[in-house]
Amino acid sequence: MPLKLIKPTESAFFYNPRGKQLSLVSELKFYFNRNTHQFELDQNPHGEPKLTKINNLKLSADFSEMEFDAVYRNKDTQFKLLSEYPFDKTLYRTIAGIPDSDFAFRDDDKDKIELIFNQGAISQVYMYKHVDMNLVDSLTIIREDGVFYLIKQGPYAKIPLNSVVAADNRIISRSASEEFSYSVNDQEYIWNLLSRLINEKYDTSS
């Protein structure tokens, strides 16, 4: 059985409650299958999901390694993912633990979430809040040259930030002179994962 050794440089967390989609990326894309209540490997990450079951999943003691087998593009393949980044370790734990969780898509979840990580730091945060099919709020934070910026629309503004934290079901960002708050209206399981990923490591120096 061939071995694919992967050291991720880009990772992501996507949640779309209206579309009933939950996916995690650690170089490979893992898509939550509602029928099996577990993550499966997406063989077509840039198009319509083509899922294959993950077998013999193992994590190292420090969660920096994840191994599994899968029939990938018609071949039995062994995968080993290695990462020193806290984000990836959290993603691996989530993939392994979700079958034993109480997660289920809920109609009262309002926020679509997109978190992108690059080389050990958050690079993009996108939040979109829908109520009754209407977009009522949004949040955009990007990272450029080691500095985080809050992007505001109407009028446009690009505000450098000193900190970004997740607390009390809010994403709180602070500039030198002002505090901004975005309320998150998603279930506890998603909030716990989101807050862990945001608070895991905040680093504007690299």
Please state which CATH number belongs to domain 116-200. Answer: 2.30.29
Q: Identify the pLDDT of residue 119.
A: 84
Q: Identify the pLDDT of residue 1.
A: 84
Residues of the chain with CATH 2.30.29: 116-200
Question: What are the Cα distances from residue 92, in Å, to 24, 103, 129?
Answer: 9, 16, 27
Q: Is 97 helix (H, G, I), strand (E, B) or coil?
A: helix
Segment 71-80, tens digit of pLDDT: 998 999 999 9
Cα separation, 91 vs 196, in Å, equals 10
Q: Is the bond into 45 cis (omega within 30 degrees of 0)?
A: no
Segment 132-152, tens digit of pLDDT: 889 999 999 999 999 999 999
Are 194 and 184 in contact, with CB atoms under 8 Å apart?
A: yes
Segment 29-40, tens digit of pLDDT: 999 999 999 999
Segment 81-119, tens digit of pLDDT: 999 999 999 999 999 999 999 999 999 999 999 999 998
Q: Identify the pLDDT of residue 179.
A: 98
Q: Identify the pLDDT of residue 201.
A: 58
Main-chain dihedrals φ then ψ at residue 165, nearest 5 degrees: -135, 160
What string of DSSP letters covers 146-171?
A: TEEEEEETTTTEEEEESEEEEETTEE
Main-chain dihedrals φ then ψ at residue 89, nearest 5 degrees: -60, -40
